[in-house]
Structure 1
Amino acid sequence: MTARQAQTGAAGAQWRQLPERGSAGIARVYMRLCLALGRTPARPVLFGIALYFQLSAPVARRASRRYLARVLDRRPGPRDTFRHILTFASTIMDRVFFLSGRDRALEVAVHGAEHVDALRAEGRGFFLMSAHLGSFEAMRALGRDHGDLPIKILMYVDNAERLNAVLAELNPAVMENVIPLGRPDAMLEVRDWIARGGVVGVLADRSTAADKLATVDFLGAPAPFPLGPWLLAATLQAPALLSFALYRGNGRYEVHFERFADPVTAAGGARRTAAAAYARAFADRLAAYCRSAPYNWFNFFDFWGEEPRDPAFDRSGRRPGRGRAES
């Protein structure tokens, strides 16, 4: 592993060390306000929340600027970072309505549902490989419009304990449908769920220090993507679909499903090489969706490993001597 790869991998695990922001009490009060008033009357409060985080979270603000510079291909301004944070806050608010079953005011367009229907008609379990892009909660619209989807999400829960606790009060089933990563029996639960024809959702754009990684091009620079999702799917010989739910503003979502691998395969000594190829292809598709909905990607940390280790970047996020920001 090169020094650059080690640096990039360490940055990829940074998100687990960031403290959870926000008060559970405030989140609980705002959740009740949303349910009592409805989405439109409660929405103006989000502007104040987004402005507060823009001003009080310098790590997230810098990360937002660097990502937006890549995806927009220009130097982002304060309005861009505010829009980025506001989009994130909007999807969190809408989780309240999705989880409470009061999502009729939200417009959800589903594309590619035939790929899900085909696998379910065969009784096959499969993976939905997604990312911190838009709202995974909007996937529940598929269950509403296309029959109940037996989905569990494989994820880390310890970095958002307060938010998860508040949402669990709203809908206790939300945590029942989560397989917590790091638990000793997590992989066995995934195996059994897939074997029963269930669906496992994986957010495949974050790594930890313990993960096997592939450093692949993402929006024009090397970035760490975990191999674990692809090695797991290959071990189970399970199909994988890509799934992204993009927030388009004004309560509108687009849920996209794409065929990806049927099944995921990585045999013998070539397992890691094959998994890296899947990670690379996933990063390419994720980049395309990021460009389609640039304010929807919610990794507010040093994803590319450029700060503070890289002295080529000044505090504005620009490389000296270049006409536009690259980070």
Structure 2
Amino acid sequence: MSLILSFKVGKCYIGNRTAKDILRCLADYADDNGENCFPGRATIVKETEINKNSFAATISFLESNGWIKINRHQKANSNSYELNVAKIFSESKTTENQTVVLKSSQPKTSTTVVPKTGRPKNGSTQNPYNCCPKTSTTVVPKSGQDPVMIQSINSHIHNRSSEQNSDDLQSGSKIETPEEFTLTPPEENESPEQEEAKELTPKQRSIQIGKRCPQEKLVELYHECLPSLKQVRTWTTASRRQNLAARWREMSERQEFQSEQDGLDFFRGFFEFVGRSPFLLGQIKTRDGNRSWRADLPWLIKAENFANVCDGKYHD
């Protein structure tokens, strides 16, 4: 079973929903090279829940479009399949690049401030408690503001500025020619996802995604996909949270998750794969007729167990 191929197929545009379901099912049975894939027709129809009458046409569609190669074994009356790994990876990368949406630039309004600084002549005295330069500020109205109100504010500001400049002239201060400059307001706050999509490469973005493990969402996804396994009542133990965060980080960097949803889709595929193992579901009875051991989330997310499940060691 190749979780890598299954994840990449999910990102591809196939052009046929039924064909995509079958291709993803084949990826579940293939290795990472797209080979050693030989599920039977009945198995594919059952797992994809497609109409069995459309199976032959859909398989032909995948073969004619270069997604798979069919090796027909007439003696055994069965087929084996090879997945076109290069095409799958290429198409999934193209789709991922097309879905990255950068935040559109918006016009920024600015406020123009015209300072008039008064500097004392050499030898002149200056009040030590009034050492800040006096400025005359012009308020530039933004869109949606009342121009009459702004004009009143400007008039009030300039009247105060004139009185201050008059005081400076009487005290012997020299008024220099004003120099205009523009203050640009700070940009609006952006979400972490928007900043990553704007500045980071896909590899850097996957590392950032890997640092933020959605623990509660993954536990809910486990309950949704595997209702027959032991339910999680509390998820506060440090070792459990660390193990889950480690698996999320490893797979994010390996699969290059570009969003949290990419990671949730990957783990959904993992839990659904667990659900196809009679051994992990405890459906294999012991010799005395009792129900055998069942897996649970703390066991599944341990490093060695997680790797063994991905390798298909608990599946027939």
Q: Same fold (TM over 0.5)?
A: no
The two structures have a TM-score, normalised by structure 2, of: 0.24
**TM-score where L is the length of structure 1:** 0.23
* Structure holding more strand per residue: 1
